Chain A
Amino acid sequence: MAGSTLEIKNLHVSIEDKEILKGVDLTIKGGEFHAVMGPNGTGKSTLASAIMGHPKYEITEGSVLLDGEDVLEMEVDERARAGLFLAMQYPSEISGVTTSDFLRSSMNARRGEGNEISLMNFIKEMDNVLDYLEIDKNMAQRYLNEGFSGGEKKRNEILQLMLLKPEIAILDEIDSGLDIDALKVVSKGINKLRDENFGCLIITHYQRLLNYITPDKVHVMMQGRVVKSGGPELAQRLESEGYEWIKEELGIEDETIEQNA
């Protein structure tokens, strides 16, 4: 079978003792694009951060497996080297570290000792992707995300995605704060990666990104769970009718994670 498989089973996640995810099940296979949609405050970004291993989130129950390997037992860097990638909603700014140095360190970490990319090849590869994403080449010499506009940060995340070529990528609200031109460029980059060896989980609460990237499956999150799954037509219906009909159908009054009683 081509590609990798990410299996999320009955995932429960807390932050500061408050439970946010209450049993999420999802399986993403190589070649598949999944969209996770839902209103704000329903746990979408928590899902992304918990899978990658953000220090603030605590997994209380359930499992995450990548090709059968226990992801939750891995350190964050091991998860990345195993083939996971998260395009972050709020990437950190790292002063004094140039984007180019960071990219090269990241690529070499993924390639492993003894298999480092030569400087020439690195520059060639980076320049190609910079061009493809219509990013000013000066960005490579700027400090990582420092003083970047919202749009520049998002493009930088996609730049990293394209250079690191993970098996499974999670894109956390990669469309937020982008104007239509930037959205098109970012989508172009993501679509370029589409093949049977690449699986993708796209988190968004806007339908508009899905006008450019067609998902194979669409999932709706409410109250920290996946409450409905379907094909691309589900996204279309959410676009035209909003989320109210799902809430009615499932008898949900408040779709957000309710406060602890």
Chain B
Amino acid sequence: MTVETKLPYDKEYIDQFSKERNEPEWMRELRFQALEQADALELPKPDKTKIGKWNFSQFKHTAPGDAIQSLSELPSELQEFLDQDNLPENLLIQRNHSVAYSTLSKDLQGKGVIFTDIFTALEKHGDLVKRYYMKDAVSIDEHRLTALHAALMNGGVFVYVPKNVEVEVPLQTIFWQEDPELALFNHVLVVADEGSSLTYVENYISHNEQEATVANVVTEVIAQDNAKISFGAVDNFAQGTTAYNNRRGVAYRDATVDWALGQMNDGNTVSENITHLVGENSLSNAKTVSVGRGNQTQNFTAKIVHFGKNSEGYILQHGVMKDKSTAIFNGIGKIEHGASKSNAEQESRVLMLSEKARGDANPILLIDEDDVTAGHAASVGRVDPVQLYYLMSRGITQEEAERLIIHGFLAPVVNQLPIEAVKNQLTQVIERKVY
């Protein structure tokens, strides 16, 4: 059963929106085509979660976002994302869907690294964007939400690292959804060309407790032959936002795509993290942690698909559920025919903190090749009373002991985030959500 989601924005509106931003013709055409497809396509059908009645149509599509002259103008909750004693050389702050602040070191500029907002990228590096935009990773016509995304895309960043360039300092992005009713159709496109490497970290934040809106985010991460991408993120949309978050990676020969994702939204959320190991010897470590609270319903998919021989995929999915929240955790390892000598490992664990919370861990292995190794582990349970006993036997109170165990359970992602401030901020978000 689906509710009719009549689009509040038509072709004429999109044409206008696109022209105002001087988008290339191909982009405008892509938007029109996507708009047509959106009408015909169904919503996605995440396993065991009914999203038919979720809000995907109530939102506004534009809002101003003024630039700031200095980082000190940021509100304190955004200051928290920045290492204050080591302010980032490579930072982009998107306020609503405009750039508020942007900096890239001279060194990286000189090496040809591109780190800019998606509209500037379309203007200045149109061909490069066109080569990758919704081609290798996510397709426009997967379902209504991908098509809507393509039609209404209103923000995002483009990262490109040229051949053999190694970016040692993380690139940091903050998506600051200041307007409580603004929808974010954000597109993040990260491309590492052959033999290059980079680390990218992003934060999403909004404060719309009451106002309803939508986040429809598509992230495409492409590692060409022998490239290495380490991708970190903390999602923290407020309760009013219905979020569809699609992060997809593609790793070609000898390439690595690693993920460390803190999925900390407070509203209803469908979050997919899928990596295609296309090339031989490609590798992905996908680590995700989540906390559910209040009445929110969430559906998390962590999936790695092996096409290349000798490819390795490791999924770690940890979730903590409290109050009356519900979440489905799908951990899927898929090995296609021909991907011999591949290894797929996955671990999905859910910690239940309340009687009324619901959490399902579904580990799935789909294997079409004989000569492979694979394994999975899944569990849903409460805080282990024997672990609690051990910590308490040293004088630690029950509350503090539970805190230690929960933070420990979510540590695999916290520890992997390469920016100290973002690590601390995720720890604080966890603290706020759990207590």
Known contacts A55-B386, A105-B400, A109-B400; decide if A81 and B395 are in contact (CB<8 Å): yes
**Does B386 contact A95, Cβ atoms closer than 8 Å?**
no
B contact residues around A54 at 8 Å (CB): 386, 389
The answer, yes or no, to whether B394 is at the interface (CB within 8 Å) is yes
The answer, yes or no, to whether A110 is at the interface (CB within 8 Å) is yes
**Does B390 contact A106, Cβ atoms closer than 8 Å?**
no
Cα distance, A142 to B400, chains bound together (Å): 20
A contact residues around B393 at 8 Å (CB): 52-53, 76-77, 79-80, 85-86, 88
The answer, yes or no, to whether A96 is at the interface (CB within 8 Å) is yes
B contact residues around A91 at 8 Å (CB): 390
Which residue of the partner chain A has the closest CB to B407? A96
Cα distance, A53 to B391, chains bound together (Å): 12
Nearest-neighbour CB distance to chain B for A60, whole angstroms, equals 19
Chain A proximity mask over B374-414: 1 for CB below 8 Å, otherwise 0:
00000000001111111111111110110011011111100
Known contacts A102-B404, A109-B400; decide if A92 and B384 are in contact (CB<8 Å): yes
**Does B387 contact A94, Cβ atoms closer than 8 Å?**
yes
**Does A96 contact B412, Cβ atoms closer than 8 Å?**
yes
Cα distance, A143 to B407, chains bound together (Å): 12
The answer, yes or no, to whether A187 is at the interface (CB within 8 Å) is no
B contact residues around A109 at 8 Å (CB): 394-397, 400
A contact residues around B410 at 8 Å (CB): 96
Chain B positions 230-288 with a Cβ under 8 Å from a chain A Cβ: none
Cα distance, A55 to B385, chains bound together (Å): 7
Cα distance, A220 to B293, chains bound together (Å): 53
Chain B proximity mask over A151-166: 1 for CB below 8 Å, otherwise 0:
0000000001000100
**Does B405 contact A80, Cβ atoms closer than 8 Å?**
no
Nearest-neighbour CB distance to chain A for B68, whole angstroms, equals 36
Cα distance, A77 to B385, chains bound together (Å): 13
Nearest-neighbour CB distance to chain B for A214, whole angstroms, equals 27
Nearest-neighbour CB distance to chain B for A168, whole angstroms, equals 13
Cα distance, A161 to B408, chains bound together (Å): 23
The answer, yes or no, to whether A97 is at the interface (CB within 8 Å) is yes
The answer, yes or no, to whether A116 is at the interface (CB within 8 Å) is no
A contact residues around B398 at 8 Å (CB): 75, 77
The residue among A86, A88, A105 with the most chain B CB atoms within 10 A of its own CB is A105
Nearest-neighbour CB distance to chain B for A6, whole angstroms, equals 15
Chain A positions 35-80 with a Cβ under 8 Å from a chain B Cβ: 52-55, 75-77, 79-80
**Does A76 contact B392, Cβ atoms closer than 8 Å?**
yes
**Does A88 contact B390, Cβ atoms closer than 8 Å?**
yes
Cα distance, A75 to B412, chains bound together (Å): 31
B contact residues around A92 at 8 Å (CB): 384, 386-387, 389-391
B contact residues around A164 at 8 Å (CB): 394-395
Which residue of the partner chain A has the closest CB to B390? A92
Cα distance, A52 to B411, chains bound together (Å): 29
Cα distance, A77 to B411, chains bound together (Å): 24
Chain A proximity mask over B152-181: 1 for CB below 8 Å, otherwise 0:
000000000000000000000000000000
A contact residues around B405 at 8 Å (CB): 94, 97
Chain A positions 78-120 with a Cβ under 8 Å from a chain B Cβ: 79-81, 85-86, 88, 91-92, 94-97, 101-102, 105-106, 109-110
**Does A110 contact B408, Cβ atoms closer than 8 Å?**
no
- Of the candidates B392, B404, B407, B412, the one whose C-beta lies within 8 Å of that of A80 is B392
Nearest-neighbour CB distance to chain A for B385, whole angstroms, equals 5
Nearest-neighbour CB distance to chain B for A47, whole angstroms, equals 15
Nearest-neighbour CB distance to chain A for B381, whole angstroms, equals 14
Cα distance, A77 to B391, chains bound together (Å): 8
Can you pick out 8 interface pairs between chain A and chain B where the beta carbons lie within 8 Å of each other? A52-B393, A75-B398, A76-B393, A77-B398, A80-B392, A92-B390, A96-B409, A97-B411
Contacts A77-B392, A92-B386 known; list 17 others, CB within 8 Å.
A53-B393, A77-B397, A80-B392, A80-B394, A80-B395, A80-B396, A92-B390, A95-B408, A95-B411, A96-B409, A96-B415, A97-B408, A97-B411, A105-B400, A106-B394, A143-B408, A160-B394
